[in-house]
Structure formats: C-alpha cells, structure tokens
Amino acid sequence: MKGTFVCIDAHTCGNPVRVITEGIPNLIGHNMSEKRQHFLKEYDWIRKGLMFEPRGHDMMSGSMLFPPHDPENDFAILFVETSGCLPMCGHGTIGTITVAIEEGLVKPKVPGKIKMEAPAGLVEIEYQKTNGKVDWVKLTNVKSYLAAENLSIQSPDLGELVFDVAYGGNFYAIVDPQKNFSGIHNHSASEIIQFSQTLRQLINNTFPNRFVHPENDTIKDVSHILWTGNPIDPSSTGRNAVFYGDKAIDRSPCGTGTSARMAQLFAKEKLKLGEDFIHESFIGSKFIGRVEAETQIDGNKAIIPSIKGWAKIYGRNTITIDTEDDPYALGFQV
Ligand code: PYC
C-alpha cells in the first residue's frame, strides 16, 4: 500500500481537522453512505496511515471531498477518524467548510450557503467570509432524537450509572451528574477516558442491536459518551466531555454531541424551540446550538438542530504512506 496525500490541517475550536485534498481514492456507491462502506472495505489503510501516530494522534480526524450525487448539492464528504469513518461529524464539517471556502476547493452555487451530502444525510450550511477568512460556519444537522432514557449500568470504575442515549449523527450515551458521578468539573480528561473505555463496551454488550438508525442500519451502537458538568463560563448553558475513538476527548464542544444533547433536553422539555444552547467543550471553547424545528423520525419526536462555530487553518502537509518502506506506515496505538 502506497500513496501520497496532500492535506490542509485546521482545528475547529481546538479539535483537529485534516482535509485531504490529493490522493483521494475513487469510491463506488450511489450516495455517501454506500461510498463510506466501500472506503472501509478497500481503503481503510489510508485512514489508518493519516490518523494514527506517527502521522496523526489520538484526537486526529479529517475529511475527503467528493462530487455530489444530486446536482442540487455542492459536494459530498467522507469523515475519517481514529475510530473509523463517522456517519456525521460537526467539528469536522465546520473545519472542512472553512478550509474549502478559504482555499477555493468548493464554489458554492449560492454564496454563503452550501448543501453537503454526509453519510448520515443532507446537511445545510451557512457561513460568513470577511477579507478571505471564514468568520463562522453554521450547520443545520440531520434529524436528531432521544433514543432511550433512564438506562442503568454497573460501571467498574464508578458503580451504578444512569444514562440516556440520543442520536445527533452518531449515537451518544449521555451521563449527567448523579450519585456516583459528580460532574466533569471534578475529573481529569484521563479519568474520563478510563471510565468511558469500559462503559462504551459494556453499554453495547448489554444492549445489543438496541441503537440502530431507523432509516440507515449501517449507523448503529453507541460510539461516543457525552459526560456533562458545570460550565467554566457561567453564561454558557452547559459543558461536556465527549469521548470518541479509543483515547480521545473532543477539544471542541462536539457538533453531533451537541445535537444529541439538544434532542435529549428538548424531549425532556428542558430546552425550547429557537432557544440558544451555548455548549462548552472540555477546554472551554464554545458552539452555539439551537433547536431549529421539531420533526419526526419513524413516528417519534425528533428535532432539526443547528450548530455554529469557527475553525482556523494552521498548516499544510504532504504525507507519504508506503508499507514496503516504513513498518509504521499504517500507524500504531499505544
Ligand atoms: O463534532 O461531531 C463532532 C465530533 C464527533 C467526534 C468528534 N467530534
């Protein structure tokens, strides 16, 4: 396996986004969900090489752009992460749009607006550009919903935990402060990672086939854990630590996590239509979320959430992967 990949590296509110602009494989499929499956089967070596150490790291995530399948749309996207290829990624979208617009990779049909085909569905985007720089990106995400509430599990680290599961482009187990967990403000990132590794596996083993998207069965199982706690800035609505991959805490407030959180709170009548939801990440960076509309999925209550945030380009990389030359071409994890 051998390839050269030209990448533009950016971060969204602190979390990395590596946009791969050259070296992208030809994928087969009628939509991005099918192309995601083809990539995972045939080209996963590219993801491993570009995401894992030594070319990447535990938090690394990125994207590749493809022509749209519907000519009404502007482009299609594949997300690549240390954990695989997510159906949807909010921080990845904000970073990719910033790179695509500032570098002229995409020419939107309507300036300031973009229709993006993600594996999880169509995402509509607005952005503002001033003097060649993108100031902010707002994405209107896929339908998000509360999938289960008040489930209970025995965490080997914390004891009994009660949690909800919500979908916001990925399935999230949401753990709010309770008897055995006093909130993320009382824990370090490494403690949260340790709790999450066993918890995610336990949840998926205890509730097999319980979390499957009703319209796309390739999207299934809890992939992320969203822990909550007190915000650093008292004017924020909430703060989270989102665990993803094997060892990562999202440095951004997590777009799909914020969508899932808003779906959970809306279903429990703790968040209203049109209300701003200012969500802080573990490092204190912020997204502005909002419930844009109420809708239905499979006959159940769902929301259309939006997320607004910013990203910065910080570097350019030409990365080679050659498995005949480098024993660590496909990376490693410690
Ligand atoms: O922003 O949706 C997101 C995300 C998922 C995993 C890391 N960030």
Going through 2-87 in order, the beta strands assigned E by DSSP cover 2-12, 15-22, 61-66, 75-81
Residues 129 and 156 in one domain: no
Strand, helix or coil for residue 108: coil
Quick one: which of 318, 285, 291 has its CA closest to 306? 291
Q: How confident is the model at residue 220 (pLDDT cuts 50, 70, 90)?
A: very high
The answer to the question of residue 333 being in a domain is no
Q: Give ∠ CA 185-186-188 in degrees, rounded to 5.
A: 90
Domain count, the chain: 2
The reply to whether 124 and 14 lie within a common domain is yes
The CA 245 to ligand 1 mean position distance, Å, reads 10
Ligand 1 nearest-atom number relative to CA 94 = 1
Q: For residues 46 and 214, give the distance between their C-alpha atoms in angstroms, rounded to a whole number.
A: 30
The structure tokens listed for 241 are: 């630590």
Ligand 1 pocket test: pick from 141, 170, 193, 246 the residue with the most ligand atoms within 8 Å of its Cβ: 170
Residue 93, sorted as left (phi over 0), alpha (psi -120 to 50) or beta, turns out to be alpha
Q: Which residues line ligand 1 (CB under 6 A)?
A: 86, 89-91, 244, 250, 252, 254-257
Which of 283, 83, 285, 288 minimizes the C-alpha distance to 184?
283
Nearest CA to ligand 1 atom 5: 89
Kindly give the distance from the C-alpha atom of residue 326 to the centroid of ligand 1, in angstroms, as a whole number: 30
Verify that 33 and 169 share a domain, yes or no.
Answer: no
Is 241 domain-assigned? yes
CA distance 206 to 222: 11
Tens of pLDDT, residues 146-203: 999 999 999 999 999 999 999 999 999 999 999 999 999 999 999 999 999 999 999 9
91 located within any domain:
yes
Query: What are the CA-CA distances from residue 64 to residues 77, 96, 231 (Å)?
Result: 6, 9, 34
- Provide the CATH number for the domain around residue 149: 3.10.310.10
300-309 and 286-297 strand pairing: antiparallel
Q: pTM, whole model, 2 decimals?
A: 0.98
* Per-residue pLDDT tens over the stretch 239-256: 999 999 999 999 999 999
Do 86 and 189 lie in one domain? The reply is: no
Query: Catalytic amino acids?
Result: 89, 254
Question: Is 266 within a domain?
Answer: yes
Other CB atoms within a 10 A radius of the CB of residue 281 amount to 27
Query: Kind and range of the H or E element at 204?
Result: helix 189-206
Answer yes or no: do 135 and 229 share one domain: no
Cα gap 36→68, rounded to integer Å: 14
How far is 43 from 64, CA to CA, in rounded Å? 13
What is the rounded average pLDDT for all residues in the chain? Answer: 98
Q: How confident is the model over 132-139, as a mean pLDDT?
A: 98
Q: Are 146 and 268 in contact (CB under 8 A)?
A: yes
Residues 155 and 252 in one domain: yes
Distant-in-sequence, close-in-space partners of 126: CB < 8 Å, separation ≥ 6: 112, 113, 114, 137, 138
Task: Provide the token pair at 155.
Answer: 């965490």
| Closest atom of ligand 1 to CA, residue 245 | 6
122: containing domain: 2-139+313-322
pLDDT range class, residue 282, cuts 50, 70, 90: very high
Q: Check residue 285 and give its pLDDT.
A: 98
